[in-house]
Each structure stands twice: as structure tokens, then as C-alpha cells.
A = this chain, B = another copy of it.
Amino acid sequence: MKDFPGTPGTFLGLVLRMSQLIFAAGSIASIATTHSFFIFSAFCNLIASMGLQVIWSFVLASLDAYALVRKRVLHNPVLVSLFVVGDWVTATLSLAAASSASGVIVLYFHDLGHCHFGEECQRCQISVTLAFLSWIPNAISSLIMLWLLAAG
């Protein structure tokens, strides 16, 4: 398999995983400090999706760090196939959950013209923004993994 920046066990790969992890954790932290938004299914789904993202990114970041320190190559086809499936599932769920929550945010802030929950409204906006920021490196990782598998 080809070795290019962003593949498992490279520095860029680790940076992408750390970005996903940090933004997803930030998204959960922002929403977890509110009380009002737990009545909305869209925000519960966002927390569940970002939780999955945090676990997946943490495992992959640990693997990347291990490979970098020990100078191991993680280009086993079975392992890369597993990364492809995991990345695609988390990327799809993240985008769907972030978009779903943003639909509710836009409804309150733009369409209805107000948000009754005071300061918590800003925290929810920050949470959705961080979820989208977490999806971007996740989508890049997904594309790199699929490319790596296809290039064989």
C-alpha cells in the first residue's frame, strides 16, 4: 500500500485524529453545560454521535501515536478496511447529527426569530459549530482511507 501524508501511522494522520477528538469533545462539553436542550431529540443524537466520534478518534489516535513511536506501518489491508468502515460510519453520523441540530438552531434563531433559552442558545450554536469542525477532519480521513484501500 502507498504511504502518503494522512495515512495511519503518519504525523498528519495523528493530527487529523486529534482534531476530530478535540472538536467532538468540545461539542459534547458545550451542550452538556446546558439544561434546556435535552428535550430536543436532535441534540441528544448530537451528543450520542459526538460520543462515538470521541471513542473512535481516541482509539485511532492512540494507534497512530503507537505506530509513530515504534515506527510501525499500519497498512494491513484488513486493518485499513476496518478503518474505512469505521470512518465512513462516524463521518456520516456526525454530518447527519450536526445538520439535524443545525436545522433546529436555524428554526429558532432565523425562522421563528428568537431563542427562549438565554445564554444556553449560544452554547448550542457553539456545540453545532464544533460538531461540523469535527466532521471536516473526519471526512478527510475517510477519503484518505478509501484511497489507500483502493490504491492497494
Contact = CB atoms under 8 A, between A and B. Distances in A.
Interface string A103-124: 1101100110000000000000
B41 A106 contact: yes
Contacts of A151: 150-152
A42 interface: yes
Copies in the complex: 2
Interface stretch (A22-30, A53-61, A67-75, A91-99): A91-99
Contact of A97 (B42, B99, B152): B99
A78 interface: no
A80 to B, nearest CB: 12
Contact of A111 (B41, B139, B143): B41
A106 B147 contact: no
Contacts of A101: 103
A43 to B, nearest CB: 9
A147 B151 CA distance: 8
Contacts of A81: none
Given A40-B107, A103-B103, A146-B147, 4 more contacts: A42-B106, A42-B107, A97-B99, A150-B151
Contacts of A150: 146-147, 150-151
A106 B41 CA distance: 7
A99 B107 contact: no
A112 B142 CA distance: 36
A39 B111 contact: yes
A47 to B, nearest CB: 14
